[in-house]
Each structure stands twice: as structure tokens, then as C-alpha cells.
Structure 1
Amino acid sequence: MVEERIRQVFAGAGAEGQLHAIPVHMRTTVAGEAGAEPGACEVAVDADDLVVIASIFKVLLVLEFARQVVAGQLDPRERMRVTAADRLGGWGTAGCLDDVELSLRDLAHFAMSVSDNSAADLLLSRVGLDTVRLLGEELGLVRTRIVGGPRELLESMLAEVGARDEREFAVRYPALPDDRKRQLAVLDPRHTTASTPREITRLLQLIWSDAAGPPEACALVRDFMSRQVFRHRLVSGFPDDVIVAAKTGTLPGLHMEAGVARYPDGQCYAIAVFARTQDLAASRATVDAAIGKAAGIAVGLLRGDGR
């Protein structure tokens, strides 16, 4: 049974996992009805469990940005300045040493390609948190909850640890016992930005079938997702001739990625994989490899290739 094989893959990496995978070549309506025979093929491993989605929320954020651009509500060339007050640390502008000025379009590019948290925060300030939430409702993502951008999540962690700033957090957090670390709200899907694997593949299916907004907006999101530089999770589970457009998410003990794999024959498959480990390290090569392997097994079943 493929579900058991996938569970064993996660267990072999010291993790528990949730997964959902579906073909996305059919046209899907906003109401969620697929233009295919009922009972369309899927692979589901605890696919309806609520999971922390971390930076995967940026897919919904950038989709809303793209929709507003196509509607003429935002000029993608509008310039914004990323200052020291905006920097959160990490990739892209979030880790720059000096102020940076760039367009809204490049903020979206950085948010998706290198998971730039400062870029995502500034983009969210322009498109509006409530608007992103309303988009999720419009698309039928009834169990998806966005509590805020990266800064809100960071401030939540600072408050729980009792740190006044990131420097103090860097001292206090490592000294906490692991049990206390696991109690942080950002690691609990009941209290932070969360969804289910099934709703995340639904979002991807809508984007890839041009049903999440105007075709131009969906195409822009697909392009941004294809530019992601991190290739150590989903990509590792597929042959070199398979093109994967995806978005990662990472928090202590949480490793995840959602994306679409396109095969040379033109068939596409949406996959959302979430792994949780007792080890709170942010980087776990064995877990990353397990995410790719589990995705490859799931898509292999959908393709009927006996994998």
C-alpha cells in the first residue's frame, strides 16, 4: 500500500509526515469541482490534518499581488525601500547590510525565489492582510488561516521567549529545553498560519489551471515559483527531465514543500509534503531527501509507472 510506503519513508528519516498529491491537468472551478470523472486519482497521507505552512503562505500572498496587478490596482514597478527596521535576517533583502530599493514585482520575486521574509512583509503591507484572507475564502480554502506575515510570527516568538529583540532571542532561545521550544505558537497549527495538505494542493491546482484568478496572474505566480533556488526537497525525488516549481517552508522541527512537477509528456502533478521531527534542527538532509522520495512515490502511483 503506497500510504504505508510513504509513512515508512518518513519514519526512516526520523519524522512523521503528511502528504497530498493529485494530477492537475484538468480544469478546476473556483468551487472546487474538477472537470474530470468523479473519484479522480489522489495519494493522501493524513491529508486533512491541520499543518503549519510557514513560508508556503507566500504562494497565496503573491497570487493576491498578481491579481491586483492584473486588475490595475497595483503598479508592479512601484518602488519600495527595505531599511534596517524592515530586515528580519535570512535570505535576500532580509539579510542585507544596507538599505535596498526595489520594485513590488521584485519583492514578489524575492519572496518566492529565496523566501525573503522582509520582502514578503513589505508586499503584504501593500496588498493587505485582510485581502489575502478573503482570497483564501474565495478559493474555498476554508481551513486555511493566515495570522500575519513573517514579522508577526517573529514577534510572537520573541514575546513567548521573553526577548526584547532578535539579538536577545538568539541568546535565550538556545537555552530553552526542547519541550519548551516545541510549545511555541508558531509550531502549533491551532495558533499560527496553517492549512491542510489537501487545501494546499487545491490552491496549486487552481493556479495551474488558471482558475485562481486571471490567467495572466496565475502565469505570473507559476513563473515566480519556477524561480525558487532551493532544490533539496521535492526536486530530489524526480528525474532530471521533470520540472518542479515549488515553495519551501521551514521552522524548527518543521520541514515542508509544496509545488507542481511537470513531466516531459506535459502531465502535471501538485504535491504538498509536510514533515515534523522531534529534533528541532532547522536543517535535516535526511528529512529533505525523504520529502522528495515520498513525493516521487506518490506521483509514480498517479502516473501508474509502478514506483
Structure 2
Amino acid sequence: MIEERIRQVFADAVAEGQLHAVRVHARAEVADANEVGAEPGIREVAVGADESVVIASIFKVLLVLEFARQVVAGQLDPRERVRVTAADRLGGWGTAGCLDDVELSLRDLAHFSMSVSDSSAADLLLARVGLDTVQLLAQELGLDRTRIVGGPRDLLESMLAEVGARDEREFAVRYPALPNDRKRRLAVLDPRHTTASTPREITLLLRLIWSDAAGPPEACALVRDLMGRQVFRHRLVSGFPDDVTVAAKTGSLPGLHMEAGVARYPDGECYAIAVFARTHDLAASRPTVDAAIGKAAGIAVGFLRGGGR
């Protein structure tokens, strides 16, 4: 069975995985696809697809979608300038790791949020868009099991508080010294206490975006474009041939590796995929787990395209 093959891929990487993969259909076929469980007549690959999972930075897809919808509605000017100061830096890629203050537009905040998963950019964009509107958007789209509890800063502050660290540098010292069972109990790693969803709801979100059913076509197009600019190519992309275009968004936390995206084949067929991996050993090889995400996604879509069981 295809599901057993996928479970074995994760087991070989010393991880547990959840996956959902399904073809992206036309808008009329997707619009009512908001029920939990398999949709009648829809071919899919589901491994723990209805289990609650931490989504980390994958929430930025919803954030940027809400930003794009507000821009199209005339509620936000995408050229509005924002200054990223030392107080805004969360560490990592993009403006989050800059040494000096940076000024850029709201639309560039969206660009960096998606292309390099810039947490500072996402946090500032969320402050402008509104956490409540992102939460309401999830409800509007029928993502009943998707919960957004805050932005990147909220998650970071939760981790610092639990570890007893004053800042990221102190966290980097304290965290490795914790017993593994203590590390696993961090709230940000528990879908019951942090931003979470299910693999099936994440693929539904992607299908709604790709079929222009998640908002005005211009807003959906912007999200698709920005997801196509993601620079990270080590997870989903690694599982597909070079002629397949993958637009995606990664997410990472200690022991958690994930990515959701849409693979477009030369024949025009598109497939939404959401893959989540949790390592048993927190020191497990990251490249091994990342490669497993791509391999599992490739196997799932190959099955959907008629490549056997």
C-alpha cells in the first residue's frame, strides 16, 4: 500500500510523518471541500491527514493571503513603508538577521515572509494586517481545525519563557542542555497549545488559493507568485523531477520539519501536498529528514498520477 511505503520513508529517517496529497481541481470542485475526512470521488494519499500538527511558519501562507485580500479591497496600500529596527529583529533570514535598521514596503515584507521565511517581516506584517483578521480568514475558508495563536515573536517568547532564557543567545546555551523529554514538552511543539492545523486543511487552503476560491483572483495570484519565490529547495522540491515546478512554504522548529506546496507538472496538472515530520531523536540528521519529506511527497504524487500503489 502507498501509505505503508510513505510511513517507511519516514521510519528510515528516524521520524514520524503525516502527509496529505491531492490533485488541485477547478474552483467549483474545491469550493465545498471543507468537510473533515476524504471527499467523495477525490483520489488522495492520506497518512495521518486528519491529525493535528504544528504548522509553524506555514501559517505565513494565511497571513500573506489576508494581506493580499486587504490590498485588493483597498484597505491597505502595499507601498506603505515600514521600518525594521533592532527591537523587531528575531534572528534568521532576511530583515530578521540584519545588523542595521531597514526600511521597506508592506509588499516587500510579504515577499521576505514567503521567500526566506523572514520572521521579523511576518511579525510586522501581522501587526499591520491584524491577528484577528487572519483567524477570521481561516474560519471563512472552512479551516475549522486551524488555529493561529500569534506571530513569530509570540512563539519565540513562549520558548524563551519556558527555558528561562532572556534572549536568543541565552536560549542557544540553555536549550541544548535540557533533557530530551523536557525539550519535547515545549508548548510550541504541541499542537494543542500553539499554531496548528491538519495536513488535510493545509492542502485545502492551497487548493482554494490555486483555484482562486480563497479570495479575489488578484489576491490568490499574489500568494501563488510569492510561494513560487521560496529559496529553500531541500524538502518538497527534492522529490520531483527538474521539469516540475514547486511553489511552497517551509516551517521548522526543534525536532519538527514541514513543508506545504503545490507541484505543477509540464502537462498542467497541479497537486497540493502537505508533509509534516517529527523526529524521535532531536539530534537526527536534518538533511535525512528533509530528504524524506521530498521522497514521501514524490511517492504520493506519483501514485496520484497513476504510478502504481
5 Å-filtered alignment, 1:76-87, equals 76-87=78-89
5 Å-filtered alignment, 1:1-307, equals 1-27=1-27, 28-32=29-33, 38-281=40-283, 284-306=286-308
Per-residue CA deviation, residues 79-103 of structure 1 (Å, 9 max, x unaligned), is: 0000000000000000000000000
TM-score when normalising by structure 1: 0.97
Q: Is the 8 A contact 2:30 2:207 kept in 1?
A: no
What residue identity is the alignment partner of 1:17?
G
Deviation at 1:283, TM superposition (A): 6.2
In the aligned structure 1, how far is the partner of 2:243 from the partner of 2:191? 35
In the aligned structure 2, how far is the partner of 1:188 from the partner of 1:281? 19
Deviation at 1:122, TM superposition (A): 0.2
Deviation at 1:279, TM superposition (A): 2.4
Name the CA shift for 1:33/1:116 in 2 (closer, same or farther; >3 Å): closer
Deviation at 1:282, TM superposition (A): 8.5
Deviation at 1:171, TM superposition (A): 1.9
Q: Is the 8 A contact 1:30 1:140 kept in 2?
A: no
Q: Alignment RMSD, CA only?
A: 1.4
Per-residue CA deviation, residues 116-169 of structure 1 (Å, 9 max, x unaligned), is: 000000000000000000000000000000010000000001111111222222
Look up the SS of the partner of 2:87 in the other structure.
Answer: coil
Q: Is the 8 A contact 2:54 2:196 kept in 1?
A: yes
In the aligned structure 1, how far is the partner of 2:102 from the partner of 2:240? 37
In the aligned structure 1, how far is the partner of 2:84 from the partner of 2:48? 40
In the aligned structure 2, how far is the partner of 1:206 from the partner of 1:152? 28
Q: Is the 8 A contact 2:34 2:143 kept in 1?
A: no
Q: Is the 8 A contact 1:255 1:288 kept in 2?
A: yes
Q: Is the 8 A contact 1:251 1:282 kept in 2?
A: no
What residue identity is the alignment partner of 1:212?
A
Report how many residues are paired: 305
What residue identity is the alignment partner of 2:15?
A
What residue identity is the alignment partner of 1:202?
L
TM-score when normalising by structure 2: 0.96
Name the CA shift for 1:282/1:9 in 2 (closer, same or farther; >3 Å): closer
Q: Percent identity?
A: 87
Deviation at 1:175, TM superposition (A): 1.4
What residue identity is the alignment partner of 2:288?
T
Per-residue CA deviation, residues 237-282 of structure 1 (Å, 9 max, x unaligned), is: 1000000000000011100000000000000000000000022248
In the aligned structure 2, how far is the partner of 1:272 from the partner of 1:154? 24
